Structures are given as structure tokens and as C-alpha cells.
Amino acid sequence: MSQAGLVLVVEDEDPVRRYTVSLLEELGYTVLQASDGSEAIAVLRERSAEISAMLLDHSMPGLSGGEVLAQLESEGLKVPVVLTSGHDRTSLERRFAGHDIAGYLQKPFRVEMLDETVRAAVARRAQAS
């Protein structure tokens, strides 16, 4: 694992996922990928203790980001979650009020915003340990 941390990127759109992974790797993170919510849950069940943060797409076919989040909470899997979406942050904050969300990224995002948001989520994980 890199010094920056291990990040799980959950994104159903392949070009968006590849782009996000490449940016995170350039920022020094080691990255795991999941193309849907079911795959994300499987990875989290195996490796949640190692994962520093997760970027979770809000809108996906199959299990949505909200359903993945609910599954995490019901299984007691503790990973800082950064929700990504084309929707604005305010609507996401209202929709996910009461959930433990480490951050929000509105797509398309700039590398600086990605860096800042993921860094804060990783720091949150480090403080919890």
C-alpha cells in the first residue's frame, strides 16, 4: 500500500472510473476498483480494514450508492465514504442527512478538489484508528 493510502473507487462508467483511478494514482494512492455496488460490497467485506477511503458513485444500476451505504452501515463496515455525483452537493447533503459521509464530489471534478476531498477522508480514517 502507498503512503497516501488505499482508496476504493466505485463507478459504473468505465471512462470515469479509469480517469479517477489515474488521478488518484498520480496523487500517490493505491487504488482498488469496483464497477458496481455488488462488487464494491464484496471488496469491502474482504478489505475494509485496509481501505483508507471510498469514492462511491451515487447513481449506478443495480445497487445504488445509497444502497451500498446502507449495506455498509448494516454490516458495521467502517470506511470513510466520499459520494460522487453529477447532482449538486446540497441535494446530496439533504438526501444523505444522518449518514456518516466524509465528503462530496460533484462531477466533473478538478484534480485539486479530488485531492483535497480524498485527503480529508483519509485523515478522518487515520484519526479513527
Q: List, for residues 71-118, the tens digit of each pLDDT value.
A: 999 999 999 999 999 888 888 888 888 888 999 999 999 999 999 999
* Amino acid 99: pLDDT: 81
Q: Is residue 1 part of a domain?
A: no
Cα dihedral 45, 42, 54, 52, rounded to 10, equals 40
Is 3's pLDDT higher than 70?
no
pLDDT of residue 5: 94
Q: What angle, rounded to 10 degrees, do the helices at 111-128 and 14-26 form? A: 70
Report if residue 33 sits inside a domain.
yes
50 is a domain residue: yes
What is the pLDDT at residue 48? 94
What confidence score (pLDDT) does residue 2 get? 56
Its domain, for residue 116, covers 6-128
* Residue of higher predicted confidence among 1 and 81: 81
In a domain, 27, yes or no: yes
Residue 48, in any domain of the structure: yes
Total structural domains within the chain: 1
- State which H helix or E strand residue 90 sits in: helix 89-95
On whether residue 113 sits in a domain, the answer given is yes
pTM: predicted TM-score of the whole model, two decimal places: 0.93
CATH number of the domain that residue 47 is part of: 3.40.50.2300
In-domain check, residue 51: yes
Beta-carbon contacts of residue 3 (< 8 Å; ≥ 6 apart): 28
Residue 111 lies in a domain: yes
Summarised one tens digit per residue, pLDDT across range 44-65 is 999 999 999 999 999 998 898 9
